[in-house]
Structure formats: structure tokens, C-alpha cells
Amino acid sequence: MAAPSLLIYLDGNIVPESEAKISVFDHGLLYGDGVFEGIRFYNGRVFRLTEHLERLYESSRSILLNVPLNFEEMEKAVLDTIAANNLRDGYIRLLITRGVGPLGLNPYQCPKASVVVIASSISLYPQEKYDLGLTMVTCATRRPSPAALSPQVKSLNYLNNIMAKIEAIQGGGEEGVMLNEQGFVAECTGDNIFILKRGEVLTPPIAAGGLDGITRRVAIELLAELGVPLREVNLTRHDIFTAEECFLTGTAAEVIAGVMLDRRPIGTGKPGPLTKQLVEKFKALANSTGTPITYP
Ligand code: PMP
């Protein structure tokens, strides 16, 4: 059975999926010139909406992209799109493209940015992977240097991460560990990474080149509640090989164990007790907090 048609927010209107079209002259398509967010909603509330929108506006500001909606209007566009689709649980893809312009790359020739909100669902991995954990592969593709483009800009150009994801899959895994130019662990292709070692949780500092993930921030809060010490420190592959547990965090993946890296089991090779505890705490928090959606 075909998936039911969705209602999409596009530049001020909520239209059927079949009418939600972007020009082939949009610089988001031509050059990856734009920014995006992935946001989840649970049980009729949008999880960490303000933080996601703040990051979206920061990405836009960093690339001199004029967002045609203010913060409140953007929040309303998100909530209205979910309500129009009458969804209680799901995933939002919010994107802002530079808009239509001539074929040259000059963004000043694109008079108006486009805003798209898709309220749908996402399922990165089958339940089995949440029960058994992910197999990870170290990717040869490095995170780009912040001197090229800040890793904090969540831009529409994800080719770097896509190359790394291809390597992970070709290497027999589901997720790839991405190193920075110095060879320290930055993050995974769509998630931040944590390890447990000698009673302490370690994660790379944002300066190592990973995204300042919102689920990463939530995990840090939950670890503090559990009284587990956390340190942001440069990590190498060796640190992951010798960790007791490893888990990844991201809006789409949520909290999930990493149990193998480059054919070495991490700890017991199964999701560890701390990871399991965090998964449960994350679910409880996500299902009980957030910006409420008003349904018609
Ligand atoms: N790193 C990258 C490269 C990502 O694309 C994502 C997903 N947005 C994350 C980390 C996790 O960030 P968040 O928890 O905000 O979804």
C-alpha cells in the first residue's frame, strides 16, 4: 500500500505533497546552498523545538541566508504542518533553500529564500539494531576542517557525510566513525558519539569537528541526572576499541548502542547497562516534554 499523501508547508501555504515543488533553478538543488533541521515530535509535543530553531537560525546567519520568517512564524509553520497532517509522533524535516536564481553561484541573485516543512516519519534502523547495537566502521573520509566551512552549519550539502556512510555500508557496518584532520574522532555520519570507560563517559569536544547535537546535549543532561561523570576530550579509535560501552545520539537515531568498530567488539559486544538506562530515560523525557501541538 502506498504511503498516504502528506500535506507540506511551502512558502506560507500548506499544500498536498504532489503540489509541493521547488524549481530546478533553486540554489539549494544547484549548489546545496541552504540549511536544514531534523526535529522529532512525540506524543503530541515537539521535542526541543526552540533549540532546533535556534540552531537553524544560527546556520542561516552564518551563511548570510535571510530567513523570510521570524522565529515565532517558523515555530507556527512547524506546529501547523504537524497539526494539518494530524500526526502525534514523527519527524520533521525543515529546510531553507537560497531560492531561485540564475545558474551562476552568486547568492545575491536569489531574491527570496524558500522554506519547506515536511512532517512525516523516519526509521533509520530496524528494532533489531536498537536491541543488538550498531556495527561501526572508521571512514577514510574525514570531517572537513572548520577552516573550510564550520561543522556547525547544518547545510544542505551533506556529501561529505554521505561518502562516509557509503564507506560504512561497504565495510559491512551501519554507521561510520568520522575522524577530523588531526585523526581524532569527530562524530558519526549523522550522530554524536560517546564511550564509557572506567566509570566515566567521554565524548569529543565540539571543537573536534562534530555537530553540536541537540540529542548530545540531552544525553549530557541525563548523565548528570544519573550522577555519571562526563568529560569532553579528544578520542582516538583506540579509546573506542577499549571502551566498556559506546552509544550514539541523534534526532533520527535517538540513543543507540555502537557495539563493534572495525571488527572489534566494544566491551561485551552488546548494548551495555548504562546505554540501556539512557535509552529508557531518553524515551521517558521525549514522551513527556516539548512544545505542545494544537490539533484542529
Ligand atoms: N552529527 C551530524 C553530522 C548530524 O547530521 C546530526 C543530526 N542532525 C547529529 C550529529 C546529531 O544532532 P542532533 O542530535 O541535533 O540531531
Q: Are 192 and 211 in contact (CB under 8 A)?
A: yes
Q: Are 32 and 155 in contact (CB under 8 A)?
A: yes
Smallest CA separation from ligand 1 atom 9, residue? 191
Q: Over 90: is that where the pLDDT of 3 sits?
A: no
Q: What does the alpha-carbon distance between residue 222 and residue 51 come to, in Å, rounded to a whole number?
A: 17
Give the pLDDT confidence score for residue 205 in this predicted structure.
98
Across the chain, mean pLDDT equals: 97
Find the catalytic residue in 154, 165, 270, 283: 154
pLDDT band at 67 (very low <50, low <70, confident <90, very high): very high
Q: Report how far apart, in Å, the C-alpha atoms of 108 and of each of 63, 87, 207, 282 are.
A: 12, 38, 31, 43
Answer yes or no: is the ipTM higher than 0.95: yes
Smallest CA separation from ligand 1 atom 12, residue? 213
The H-or-E segment that residue 160 falls in is helix 159-170
What topology does CATH give the domain 7-120? D-amino Acid Aminotransferase; Chain A, domain 1 (3.30.470)
Q: Over 90: is that where the pLDDT of 25 sits?
A: yes
Q: Report the residue among 161, 162, 192, 214 best suited for mutation to probe ligand 1: largest number of ligand atoms under 8 A from its CB.
A: 192
pLDDT band at 84 (very low <50, low <70, confident <90, very high): very high
Q: Over 90: is that where the pLDDT of 40 sits?
A: yes
154 flagged as catalytic: yes
Instruction: Give the 3-state secondary structure of residue 108.
Output: helix
The H-or-E segment that residue 130 falls in is helix 127-132
In tens, the pLDDT along 173-210 reads 999 999 999 999 999 999 999 999 999 999 999 999 99
Report the top-level CATH class of 127-286.
alpha beta
Distance (angstroms) between ligand 1 centre and the Cα of 189 equals 8
Residue 39 cell numbers, joined:
526535529
Distance (angstroms) between ligand 1 centre and the Cα of 181 equals 19
Q: Over 90: is that where the pLDDT of 2 sits?
A: no
Burial class of residue 198, CB neighbours in 10 A (0-12, 13-18, 19+): exposed
Give the pLDDT confidence score for residue 78 in this predicted structure.
98
Q: Over 60: is that where the pLDDT of 151 sits?
A: yes
pLDDT band at 4 (very low <50, low <70, confident <90, very high): confident
DSSP string for 182-231 = TS-EEEESSSEEEEEETTEEEE--GGGS----HHHHHHHHHHHHHT--EE
Domain boundaries, the chain: 7-120, 127-286
Which atom of ligand 1 is least distant from the CA of 154? Answer: 5
> Which amino acids bring their CB within 6 angstroms of ligand 1?
38, 161, 187, 190-192, 210-211, 213-216, 249-251
Tell me what the mean pLDDT of segment 243-248 comes to.
Answer: 98
Tell me what the mean pLDDT of segment 43-62 comes to.
Answer: 98
Give the pLDDT confidence score for residue 277 in this predicted structure.
98
Smallest CA separation from ligand 1 atom 6, residue? 190
Q: What does the alpha-carbon distance between residue 8 and residue 239 come to, in Å, rounded to a whole number?
A: 44
Q: Are 286 and 227 in contact (CB under 8 A)?
A: no
